[in-house]
Chains A and B, each alone.
Chain A
């Protein structure tokens, strides 16, 4: 049976090309893999190979022809004994398959001008009568890991100095003794490599907790975090997920200069497939880390060195697992909403205290999870206070606050009585000198000033 040979597309963007040269002539026998012609694409001259075997019955497009559309028949291949001259003239060029119009994707419905109040989960994270005990964030994080490791053999901890040194910041204190070197693993200082190994082990059925000594060093590993951990579930059509937690201190510590003082919340927040958690209190650190370890998705868990030693009340309940994606209202108020997360909460809460003395009632929301973000809780609050200030330590351009501003503009524009202000760290690498470092960081006074601006005081 005669086969038409079509002008091939030889690059992702080629629509037509020049048939530069025939390397076979009518009557030649070809088998698959033989080079038949040279074709000039928009990028280069390519060799074009035969796929089927047969005899070149007729050459339909002579060499030197320019502007030959992809999928135009250029030759006819016949089997032995067949007569090409008896063939009908070449059919008109087959319609290019690629021209099929892509089905239109429905645009999202425009946001209603005055939305109904979003449904927000306001349920308490623990029973009101739970016994409370004062614990540091450090202890809370360790307890969360230990509890989850007791409950699930597949959970293990890997990182630099997590085992014998007991953690560079002593978060893993005692874990080696309890769980042994099989499950608490010191790595060499090779973030890219061990992050990849941990991701691979998650594909293989384990539930790793990867400690980065700080998230600054995770930049060495960010390809594995994003390209391998976050995207594989999607790329595999849902077959292969990656249950893993990447945790460690994030943001500025004190006097450690530019390479060790960066807040990555906004970086990771952008990635579909990742969940991003940034707790402030010890109870949240514990409850959210437990949930993160159980979550079947990759979770970025951003801690803060300055908060590690701070004490908070932690409920003494059997299993404190706080759901990811749920904000916490730390203090109710009516004049302005202050949204923050992580160490930013320190400034937000201090500002709220001082503002209260001046008769300004601030509602303070701790996002706790940056992705998925509980935007409903923010909008609900803004519908009540009509004013919004966001507080974070990271840089201003592309900040978490700027995303919140855009969401609030789109979904609650009519409720705003003032432009949203994003309080952020200054747009500079972190300086070392004590006075300059202080200047680069967000301060409580800046939050107070922002609140006064949006409340026109």
Chain B
């Protein structure tokens, strides 16, 4: 992972920087709260936190325009918050309540929003990749100019269906950005132990799909790469691959003790490459914001997250009739 010590003055407004700061902080505080509610037994089953990877979705959402679609795996809370889905609705889905975005029937891994063009939330590793290409297929068919962001991890990148999809996406020039969120661990298996090539995006070359490595701890770098990829797709040139190098601070899921890496490794990334600290520094050193300004944002985010948590506790469990609804349209 590239270290963060960039001193180049970024070409970005103070307002934009503050927006990214706010959005990344929302994801982090939300996920910390989710971890806490899990610890209290309010959230059950699997819960995959996005802490450390915030710059990836926030940077790419900054490159998207209205109507663009997104789809991802089970580590999906960050994606939903970044595309504007209601934090209360997400948290209440985590607690399995009526007010959840899937009425409590999907859980952490399965939420959707037609309104925000968020297509899940998929629990089978790699399955969202052809689905994302299919969304792009629909956009191309309808000639609506839309682009689909299809997120998957370094682990999913070894699934066969990913390459079946690369082939068809290239063959049919589908407007899809494949975002490989390379957090370096496929659950507990380090990339070097699971993946034959050090870089994954190069596999696209075999299909004629261009791609590049992106520093996923730098929201501005992610945004710039996202804009390039989206422009490529919108110009009708077919798919594009972004391999975004990032890092997950927490375990694969809540019950992962993460013994496959050292505490020092995690600590080092936190201290040297944290994506939120990066923007914080840019804001302060560029005199775009004062400590007090940032404290006010922190407070505001804390309030949003607390409200989401309160809603997720107060919202009732789904009515028992819900067992039998939504099986057929």
Asked if chains A and B come from one complex, the reply is yes
Chain A residues engaging chain B, CB cutoff 8 angstroms: 6-12, 14, 32-33, 35, 41, 43-49, 51, 70-71, 96-98, 103, 105-106, 156, 182, 187-188, 190, 192-206, 223-224, 227-228, 232-241, 243, 272-273, 275, 296-297
Which residues of B, 224-258, contact A by the 8 Å Cβ criterion? 249, 251, 254-255, 257-258
Which residues on B sit within 8 Å (CB–CB) of A106?
Answer: 320
B29 within 8 A of A: yes
- In the complex, 22 of the A-B residue pairs with CB atoms within 8 angstroms, ordered by the A residue number, are A6-B40, A7-B39, A10-B255, A12-B45, A12-B46, A12-B255, A48-B39, A70-B40, A97-B42, A103-B320, A105-B320, A188-B167, A188-B171, A196-B127, A199-B130, A200-B134, A200-B137, A203-B138, A205-B142, A237-B105, A240-B112, A272-B327
Nearest CB in chain A: distance from B136 CB, A: 8
B131/A238 in contact, CB under 8 A: no
B328/A233 in contact, CB under 8 A: yes
Q: How far is the CA of A451 from the CA of B240 in the complex (A)?
A: 63
B44/A12 in contact, CB under 8 A: yes
A227/B129 in contact, CB under 8 A: no
Which residues of B, 113-151, contact A by the 8 Å Cβ criterion? 113-114, 119-124, 127, 129-139, 141-142
Known: A193-B168, A200-B133, A233-B326. A156 touches B161 (CB 8 A): no
B138/A195 in contact, CB under 8 A: no
A239/B112 in contact, CB under 8 A: yes
Chain A contact residues, majority secondary structure:
loop
Chain B residues engaging chain A, CB cutoff 8 angstroms: 29, 32-33, 35-36, 38-42, 44-46, 51, 69, 71, 100-106, 110-114, 119-124, 127, 129-139, 141-142, 160-161, 164-165, 167-168, 171, 249, 251, 254-255, 257-259, 263, 270, 317, 320, 323, 325-329
Tell me which of B39, B135, B160, B263 contacts A203 (CB under 8 A): B135
- Among B51, B130, B167: residue with most chain A CB under 10 A: B130
A6/B119 in contact, CB under 8 A: no
Q: How far is the CA of A204 from the CA of B171 in the complex (A)?
A: 20
Which residues on B sit within 8 Å (CB–CB) of A8?
Answer: 36, 38-40
Tell me which of B35, B136, B161, B327 contacts A193 (CB under 8 A): B161
Known: A203-B134, A204-B69, A204-B137. A297 touches B328 (CB 8 A): yes
Tell me which of B101, B104, B165 contacts A197 (CB under 8 A): B165
Which residues on B sit within 8 Å (CB–CB) of A44?
Answer: 255, 257, 259
Closest to B107 in A: A235
A182/B257 in contact, CB under 8 A: no
- Among A32, A199, A237: residue with most chain B CB under 10 A: A237
Q: How far is the CA of A187 from the CA of B133 in the complex (A)?
A: 14
15 extra A-B contacts, CB within 8 A, seeds A10-B255, A47-B258: A9-B40, A70-B39, A188-B167, A197-B131, A200-B134, A201-B141, A203-B135, A228-B131, A234-B326, A235-B121, A237-B101, A237-B106, A238-B325, A239-B102, A240-B114
B255/A11 in contact, CB under 8 A: yes
Q: How far is the CA of A223 from the CA of B136 in the complex (A)?
A: 20
A202/B254 in contact, CB under 8 A: no
A47/B106 in contact, CB under 8 A: no
Tell me which of A41, A193, A203 contacts B255 (CB under 8 A): A41
A204/B135 in contact, CB under 8 A: yes
A192/B130 in contact, CB under 8 A: yes
Which residues on B sit within 8 Å (CB–CB) of A232?
Answer: 112, 120
Nearest CB in chain B: distance from A333 CB, A: 33
Which residues on A sit within 8 Å (CB–CB) of B130?
Answer: 192-197, 199-200, 224
A241/B329 in contact, CB under 8 A: yes
Q: How far is the CA of A241 from the CA of B33 in the complex (A)?
A: 31
Nearest CB in chain A: distance from B325 CB, A: 7
Nearest CB in chain B: distance from A324 CB, A: 10
A236/B110 in contact, CB under 8 A: yes
A197/B41 in contact, CB under 8 A: no
A32/B32 in contact, CB under 8 A: yes
Which residues on B sit within 8 Å (CB–CB) of A70?
Answer: 39-41
Closest to A196 in B: B130
Which residues on B sit within 8 Å (CB–CB) of A200?
Answer: 71, 119, 130-138
Q: How far is the CA of A46 from the CA of B249 in the complex (A)?
A: 13
Tell me which of A32, A203, A237 contacts B326 (CB under 8 A): A237
B161/A192 in contact, CB under 8 A: yes
Which residues on A sit within 8 Å (CB–CB) of B329?
Answer: 233, 238, 241, 243, 296-297
Known: A196-B129, A240-B112. A201 touches B137 (CB 8 A): yes
Nearest 9 interchain pairs by C-beta:
A200-B134, A196-B130, A8-B39, A193-B164, A204-B138, A237-B103, A11-B255, A200-B131, A44-B257
Which residues on A sit within 8 Å (CB–CB) of B254?
Answer: 10-11
Which residues on B sit within 8 Å (CB–CB) of A197?
Answer: 130-131, 133-134, 137, 165, 168
Which residues on A sit within 8 Å (CB–CB) of B46?
Answer: 12
Q: How far is the CA of A195 from the CA of B161 in the complex (A)?
A: 10
Tell me which of B39, B103, B120, B142 contacts A10 (CB under 8 A): B39
A239/B257 in contact, CB under 8 A: no
Q: How far is the CA of A12 from the CA of B42 in the complex (A)?
A: 11
Nearest CB in chain B: distance from A280 CB, A: 24
A47/B255 in contact, CB under 8 A: no
Which residues on A sit within 8 Å (CB–CB) of B113?
Answer: 239
